[in-house]
Structure 1
């Protein structure tokens, strides 16, 4: 059900951009949504070959990922050079600036939105420092609860 909703949003984004939502783009979105962790374009190319018995070059995967990220259906984790599906890909309402909690041990990622008031303060601090914010996405290195608990048990 969630996949159908995300595919429907992808169809709408394609129509607005006057770009065809090809079956390959749909398949890449489906692979991202099914992935349990962030994946690289090369990993997606391998998953695509395994899942759909068709080879797609990583450069083509990158172009598909560009489309998905531009239309808020996926996110690129810059610190890891990997991609995840948007946690809000099936929502119709707007959300705050994305922040990603990335477990340093198991690499699990959780997307959480920052309250707009906090983001406004952050933006003011950036401007006060003499800079212009070009990407509001935050990536925070953390430990997920499972890895934190496992670490406590080995102490």
Structure 2
């Protein structure tokens, strides 16, 4: 890191990363793919369970959101624990790293699922359900990348977890 990067701290004491431009975008894409993985696991599992049980849209979405946050945080907590951080601290790192990203992704992908006529009612064997879910996750990814880019550029979001990846 440059001396200037070491000297630059935001108002909350987090060091801003010494990256910009394409490198910052690459980090944002990587962070968003990480988020997408946890969200997708939770979304798919929640949608499958809710749909299979015949739940309504809001119950199914509620379960999918809870599971998306659970798996999203879990994918961060595991590696952070392996780096030697105690569980309580690992949870704090995951909350700081992933909350905004997961929240944006969940709002967008569930909004898309609700906006596609018949998607939520299509059933697990219908291509409309799976196509809509895949499309919803893709749209959520595209919307979340610039959010993560902005956060990482300010030393927030997924930037707080990078020191534990080594």
TM-score interval, smaller chain: under 0.3
Larger fraction in strand: 1
Structure ranking higher on relative contact order (CA contacts 8 Å, 6+ apart):
2
Larger fraction in helix: 2
Provide TM-score, normalisation by structure 1.
0.28
Provide TM-score, normalisation by structure 2.
0.26
